[in-house]
Structure 1
Amino acid sequence: MVKRIYLLLLVCGWFLAGCTNSREANLEHTTPDGPTTAMTIAIVGDGLNPVIRNVSYVPVELEDLGKVHSRSFDGLIIFKDKFDEAAQPKNKQFFKSIDYPVFFIGAEEILTAAFYSEDITLDQVKGTRSGPYASGFVRAEEGGYRTWDIDLPNNPTDKDKGLNTIIRICNIIEDYKRTK
């Protein structure tokens, strides 16, 4: 009789444990809260600039970034249509010297080190991996680079690829500013 009760408790516990896992999957497509402090994000390329509280965007061209570098940006987002231009040798020095995070949206098939490393070109790393949807880096004070990766949930929606990704980038930038 005692064995049957233990078996019944074991089976019930197993079913209850299975139920909690399925609930977590529903949270994947939720929109995160946005940043709580005001920030200015430079945008390069053709991409979505959703309205997010406390975030203002400044569209810029890559060739102008060096000139407006003295302007105070909190972060930089580069869209896929400008990756080839951003990876040119003339821009690598800029990416090595800026002190705010740079994010690349649509970066699944590249390695972002191609934008700051002299030893790696974008052509060498294109299509060599299946990585995060968005990836970013910033030069660390102690040398090297601090990096971030943003993955999409399973079966991503347009909202996941647009608004939710940009909010997550803004939250990372806000955390970076706070802890830097």
Structure 2
Amino acid sequence: MKQLWLLPILLLCLAGCGMDQLVDDGHEEPEEVEIGEYKYEGRLLTLAVIGTGEFGTLTNITRHRLSSLDDLLKEAQLDYDAIFITKSAFQQASDPSYASFFNSVDIPVFFVEADEVGLWTFTNKEETLESARIENAGFIQGYWNASGDREWTAWSFPKPDGPEDNTVWVDVMSLIESLKE
């Protein structure tokens, strides 16, 4: 009878054995994010974001907001899975002085809200935002210059159906993850 008080303590110990323990090994496991029928279950992605604007609500994405392309170019090594440039930074990004960067960068680059401009605006020194206007371009356009020899792979993603539609963002993040495999 005296040892009955140990029973609740024993039960708590046994219940705790089945719980996952957090181990700080420097590696962050991504959260599983449910978005409608879509899930991004991939690894944690690190993105450089130049410009303002909201995109996606995925919580397993680390965004490093940079105030300008100059901040990005000052970094000795680009330790990002991808670069995102939003519409608010298009004027700066279309400056001919950045064309060599866009032609040589070897990580994926995505332009957000680019539905009125072509990718060549940023890679061709002779093009401007005004001269490269096109209709119905992809809301998100991206490319990857994997070899550094302008042998690009390019993508175009449609505009989300509304603020709650994150399927496009899940597709973009899944693509970025697949490029690193």
| TM-score of the superposed pair, with normalisation by structure 1 | 0.72
Aligned pair partner of 1:104 in 102, 111, 116: 111
Distance in 1 of aligned mates of 2:178 and 2:172 = 10
Q: 1:31 to 1:100 in 2, by over 3 A?
A: farther
Q: Which has the larger radius of gyration?
A: 2
Are 1:87 and 2:94 an aligned pair? yes
How far does residue 47 in structure 1 lie from its aligned partner after superposition?
Answer: 1.4
Partner SS state of residue 129, structure 1? coil
Are 1:52 and 2:58 an aligned pair? yes
How far does residue 119 in structure 1 lie from its aligned partner after superposition?
Answer: 4.1
Q: Which residue of 1 aligns with 2:83?
A: 76
Q: Which residue of 1 aligns with 2:129?
A: 122
Distance in 2 of aligned mates of 1:121 and 1:145 = 21
The CA RMSD measured in Å over matched residues stands at 2.1
Tell which has more relative contact order, 1 or 2 (C-alpha 8 A, sep 6+).
Answer: 1
Structure 1 residue identity aligned to 2:139:
Y
Structure 2 residue identity aligned to 1:144:
E
Distance in 2 of aligned mates of 1:30 and 1:42 = 26
CA contact (8 A) 1:35 1:53 kept: no
Q: Which residue of 1 aligns with 2:45?
A: 39
Q: 1:73 to 1:116 in 2, by over 3 A?
A: same
Structure 1 residue identity aligned to 2:75:
V
| TM-score of the superposed pair, with normalisation by structure 2 | 0.71
Structure 1 residue identity aligned to 2:77:
S
Partner SS state of residue 46, structure 1? coil
Aligned pair partner of 2:162 in 157, 166, 170: 157
How far does residue 151 in structure 1 lie from its aligned partner after superposition?
Answer: 1.2
How far does residue 52 in structure 1 lie from its aligned partner after superposition?
Answer: 2.4
Partner SS state of residue 132, structure 1? coil
**Structure 2, unaligned runs of 5 or more:** 1-34
How far does residue 84 in structure 1 lie from its aligned partner after superposition?
Answer: 1.1
Structure 1 residue identity aligned to 2:46:
T
Are 1:166 and 2:169 an aligned pair? yes
How far does residue 85 in structure 1 lie from its aligned partner after superposition?
Answer: 0.8
Q: 1:73 to 1:38 in 2, by over 3 A?
A: same
Q: 1:88 to 1:37 in 2, by over 3 A?
A: same
Structure 2 residue identity aligned to 1:145:
W
Q: Which has the higher helix share?
A: 1
Are 1:133 and 2:139 an aligned pair? yes
